[in-house]
């Protein structure tokens, strides 16, 4: 049961460092007990959903352990989403409560008048711990291929097995200090290093959000041994004026994932003496499924490693990566099956295994666009594009981008009143900024297959040429 993690650590050891303040494991455990009592007083119990809106903050982790104690679920919200998107998730999940940091409290109260300010504290008190390994503890929404996000239901057991993999991947001990800069509303930021560290009594240095200058400063001041990055952040760091003189002397390695990591970025970190350990998975796998050791990061740059502890992986006859294990989701919310009859999760990604048994990511079978580590599904963007002024028909795909890896681009057939600026403006306030098209390419007709479907390879060529 993950609620036990703060309880069994050395109470005096530092658990979280945030905004110049340190929360010990004893204080974290007490805060989780008090939070659980406050949630229970508001009617939260087993199976209920508690939403959180805010940048990285210790109270999100307090809420996680409080929900685990009650057998409830934490629903972390992506603060980059537009209000209609957040409203859909809250309604779809049937959230019992919405909690927010002070920065996001006005936005939260616009969605739910009864939204709670987590900075106000939880008072005192405790309730019996009833949450167990089989209880769902996280409901994490991932963009849906049908244009609507869908929630992955993850159990306490899944997080516990995932933590074992995180500890194994990084050879983590209680002496480690993890610098967390990726958002905790994604399972990557939450579960690749942060919760594994808290499971063994290590320290987490938590930044509200990534800023290159702040990252360099915390590396020098806080002496982290591990951190987790995505390619867009790696690119921002290596091109920053402070890169050459940054003090990385304490870093044993960095983890990297969410999309294919370009070899030039890996080499840039290796040149600074920092191995880049790639990790592969999905929201549905908690996410750690396949990962590199530190040694293999240096021996085989670009590989995604080997299947983790208590995780199986295989390739389908079509070359798709399939994953099975206790780390996988129970189902999609509320009760949509996500695994096949034998318990395998189909990732939608193609891969290969070399003669040494190392796994390699080769391509995405889905049409997902990975922009700066965020998933953007064309169907979701196309749903908004249909109502854009001056557009007769359109489709969305990714275009390679030096900064973000990929960016969404709309390819459209224009009507007589078409204006590019008006089309781009149409998306503002309806979709998160990272989902909004960066460009609109006008074509005489969309490329289609014999069955009338948009031909994606041809569409990508048009987007790249435009």
Over residues 303-337, the pLDDT tens digits come to 999 999 999 999 999 889 999 999 999 999 999 99
pTM listed for this prediction:
0.91
Query: 190-245, pLDDT tens digit by residue?
Result: 999 999 999 999 999 999 999 999 999 999 999 999 999 998 899 999 999 999 99
- The span from the CA of 193 to the CA of 175, in Å, is 14
CATH topology of domain 369-465: GMP Synthetase; Chain A, domain 3 (3.30.300)
Kindly tell me the burial class for residue 444, based on how many C-beta atoms sit within 10 Å of its own C-beta (0-12, 13-18, 19 or more): exposed
Cα 303 to Cα 280, 294, 347, distances in angstroms: 10, 12, 17
Superfamily name and number for 4-363: ANL, N-terminal domain (3.40.50.12780)
Q: Which two tokens stand for residue 320?
A: 């798709």
Please state whether 348 falls in left (phi above 0), alpha (psi between -120 and 50) or beta: left
- pLDDT score recorded for residue 408: 98
Cα 252 to Cα 21, 62, 366, distances in angstroms: 24, 28, 34
- pLDDT score recorded for residue 147: 66
pLDDT > 90: percent of the chain: 90
Phi, psi values for residue 415, rounded to 5°? -90, 180
Cα four-point dihedral sign 458, 459, 460, 461: positive
Return the closest-CA partner of residue 5 out of 191, 184, 281. 191
Q: Which spans in 370-443 are helix H?
A: 378-385, 420-426
- DSSP 8-state class, residue 46: T
- Torsion (CA) 432, 73, 177, 307 in degrees, nearest 10: -90
Find out whether 348 and 320 touch, Cβ atoms under 8 Å.
yes
- pLDDT score recorded for residue 364: 74
- pLDDT score recorded for residue 34: 98
- pLDDT score recorded for residue 451: 55
User: In the chain, what are the domain boundaries?
Assistant: 4-363, 369-465
3-state SS, residue 70: helix
Q: Which residues of the chain have pLDDT under 50?
A: none
Domains 4-363 and 369-465 in one fold: no
Give DSSP secondary structure letters for 182-210: S-TTSHHIIIIIIHHHHHTT-EEEE-SS-
- pLDDT score recorded for residue 145: 53
- pLDDT score recorded for residue 146: 57
């Amino acid at each position: 049961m993950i609620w036990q993690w703060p309880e069994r650590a050395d109470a005096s050891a530092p658990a979280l460092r945030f905004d110049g303040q340190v929360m010990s494991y004893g204080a974290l455990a007490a805060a989780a007990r008090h939070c659980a009592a406050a949630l229970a007083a508001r009617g939260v119990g087993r199976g209920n959903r508690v939403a959180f809106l805010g940048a990285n903050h210790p109270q999100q982790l307090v809420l996680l352990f409080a929900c685990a104690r009650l057998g409830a679920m934490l629903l972390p919200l992506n603060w980059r989403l537009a209000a209609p998107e957040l409203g859909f998730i809250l309604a779809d999940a049937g959230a019992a409560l919405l909690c927010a940091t002070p920065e996001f409290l006005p936005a939260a109260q616009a969605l739910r008048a009864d939204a709670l300010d987590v900075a106000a504290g939880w008072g005192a008190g405790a309730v019996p711990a009833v949450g167990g390994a089989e209880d769902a503890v996280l409901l994490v929404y991932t963009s849906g291929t049908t244009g609507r996000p869908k929630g992955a239901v993850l159990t306490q057991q899944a997080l516990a097995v995932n933590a074992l993999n995180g500890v194994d991947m990084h050879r983590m001990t209680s002496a480690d200090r993890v610098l967390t800069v990726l958002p905790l509303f994604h399972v990557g930021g939450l579960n690749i290093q942060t919760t594994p560290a808290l499971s063994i009594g290590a320290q987490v240095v938590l930044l509200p959000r990534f800023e290159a200058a702040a990252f360099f400063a915390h590396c020098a001041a806080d002496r982290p041994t591990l951190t987790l990055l995505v390619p867009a952040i790696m690119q921002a760091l290596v091109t920053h004026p402070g890169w050459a003189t940054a003090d990385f002397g304490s870093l044993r390695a960095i983890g990297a994932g969410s999309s294919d990591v370009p070899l030039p970025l890996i080499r840039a970190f290796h040149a600074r003496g920092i191995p880049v350990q790639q990790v592969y998975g999905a929201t549905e796998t908690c996410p750690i499924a396949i990962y590199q050791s530190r040694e293999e990061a240096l021996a085989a740059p670009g590989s995604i490693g080997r299947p983790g502890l208590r995780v199986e992986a295989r390739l389908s006859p079509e070359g798709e990566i399939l994953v099975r294990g206790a780390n996988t989701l129970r189902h999609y919310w509320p009760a949509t099956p996500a695994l096949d009859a034998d318990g395998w999760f189909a990732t939608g990604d193609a891969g290969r295994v070399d003669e040494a048994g190392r796994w390699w990511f080769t391509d995405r079978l889905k049409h997902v666009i990975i922009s700066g580590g965020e998933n953007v599904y064309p169907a979701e963007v196309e749903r908004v594009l249909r109502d854009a002024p001056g557009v007769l028909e359109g489709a969305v795909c990714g275009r390679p981008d030096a900064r973000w890896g990929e960016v969404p681009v709309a390819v459209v057939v224009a009507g007589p009143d078409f204006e590019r600026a008006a089309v781009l403006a149409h998306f503002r306030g309806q979709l998160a900024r990272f989902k909004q098209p960066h460009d609109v390419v006008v074509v005489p007709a969309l490329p289609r297959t014999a069955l009338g479907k948009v031909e994606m390879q041809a569409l990508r060529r048009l987007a790249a040429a435009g």
